[in-house]
Structure 1
Amino acid sequence: MSTFIEIMNNYLEHSFVRYAIIVGLLIAICSSLIGVTLVLKRFSFIGDGLSHVAFGAMAIGTVLNLADNMLLTLPITIISAVVLLKSGQNAKIKGDAAIAMLSVSALAFGYLLLNIFSASSNVSGDVCTTLFGSTSILTLTERDVIICIILSVLIISSFIFLYHSIFDVTFDEDFAKAVGTKTDLYNLIIAIIIAVIIVLGMRLVGALLISALIIFPALSAMSIYKTFLSVIICSLVVSFIGALIGLIFSIYVGTPVGATIVGADAIIFAGFSITGKVLGK
Structure 2
Amino acid sequence: MDILDYAFMQRALLAAVLVGVIAPAVGIYLVQRRQALMGDGIGHVAMTGVGLGFLLNTSPVWMATAVSVLGAVLMELIRWYGRTRGDIALAMLFYGGMAGGVMFTSLAGGSTANLTSYLFGSLSTVSESDVTAIGLLAAFVLVVTLGLRRQLFAVSQDEEFARVTGLPVRALNLLTAVTAAVTVTVAMRVVGLLLVSALMVVPVAAAQQLTRNFAATFAVAVAIGVSVTIGGTVTSFYQDVPPGSTIVLLTIGAFIALTALATPLARRRARALAAAQAAGDPAECAIPATRGPESTVGV
- Report the TM-score when normalising by structure 2: 0.83
User: Identity of aligned pairs, percent?
Assistant: 26
SS of equivalent residue, structure 1 residue 48: helix
Q: 1:98 aligns with which of 89, 102, 108?
A: 89
For residues 166 and 197 of structure 1, the distance between their equivalents in structure 2, rounded to whole angstroms, comes to: 16
Per-residue CA distance 1:136-167 (angstroms, 9 max, x = gap): x3233333323322322222122221111011
Q: 1:129 aligns with which of 117, 122, 131?
A: 117
CA contact 2:233–2:243 (8 Å) conserved in 1 = yes
Aligned to 1:276: 262
Aligned to 2:283: none
Aligned to 2:101: 110
Offset, 1:58: 1.4
Aligned to 1:73: 64
One-letter amino acid of the counterpart of residue 62, structure 1: F
Offset, 1:85: 3.0
Aligned to 1:228: 214
1:43 equivalenced with 2:35 (yes/no): yes
In structure 2, the CA distance between the partners of 1:62 and 1:141, relative to structure 1 (3 Å rule), is closer
Aligned to 2:144: 158
What do you get for the CA RMSD once the two structures are aligned?
1.8
1:172 equivalenced with 2:158 (yes/no): yes
In structure 2, the CA distance between the partners of 1:91 and 1:224, relative to structure 1 (3 Å rule), is farther
For residues 169 and 197 of structure 1, the distance between their equivalents in structure 2, rounded to whole angstroms, comes to: 19
For residues 129 and 40 of structure 1, the distance between their equivalents in structure 2, rounded to whole angstroms, comes to: 31
Aligned to 1:14: 6
In structure 2, the CA distance between the partners of 1:227 and 1:197, relative to structure 1 (3 Å rule), is same
Per-residue CA distance 1:7-28 (angstroms, 9 max, x = gap): 3xx2211221111001111012
SS of equivalent residue, structure 1 residue 255: coil
Offset, 1:203: 1.4
Matched residue count: 267
Worse overlay, 39-48 or 66-75:
66-75
CA contact 1:130–1:207 (8 Å) conserved in 2 = yes
Offset, 1:208: 0.9
SS of equivalent residue, structure 1 residue 224: coil
In structure 2, the CA distance between the partners of 1:139 and 1:124, relative to structure 1 (3 Å rule), is closer
One-letter amino acid of the counterpart of residue 164, structure 1: R
Aligned to 2:53: 61
In structure 2, the CA distance between the partners of 1:207 and 1:141, relative to structure 1 (3 Å rule), is closer
Offset, 1:90: 5.8
For residues 3 and 62 of structure 2, the distance between their equivalents in structure 1, rounded to whole angstroms, comes to: 32
Offset, 1:227: 1.2
Aligned to 1:259: 245
CA contact 1:43–1:95 (8 Å) conserved in 2 = no
Mapping for residues 212-251 of structure 1, pairs under 5 Å: 212-251=198-237
In structure 2, the CA distance between the partners of 1:146 and 1:110, relative to structure 1 (3 Å rule), is closer
One-letter amino acid of the counterpart of residue 15, structure 1: A
Offset, 1:118: 4.7
Mapping for residues 129-208 of structure 1, pairs under 5 Å: 129-134=117-122, 137-208=123-194
For residues 72 and 196 of structure 2, the distance between their equivalents in structure 1, rounded to whole angstroms, comes to: 15
Structure 2 unaligned blocks of 5 or more: 267-290, 292-299
Offset, 1:128: 3.4
In structure 2, the CA distance between the partners of 1:110 and 1:20, relative to structure 1 (3 Å rule), is same
CA contact 1:218–1:235 (8 Å) conserved in 2 = yes
Worse overlay, 90-99 or 75-84:
90-99
In structure 2, the CA distance between the partners of 1:172 and 1:49, relative to structure 1 (3 Å rule), is same
One-letter amino acid of the counterpart of residue 64, structure 2: T
SS of equivalent residue, structure 1 residue 279: helix
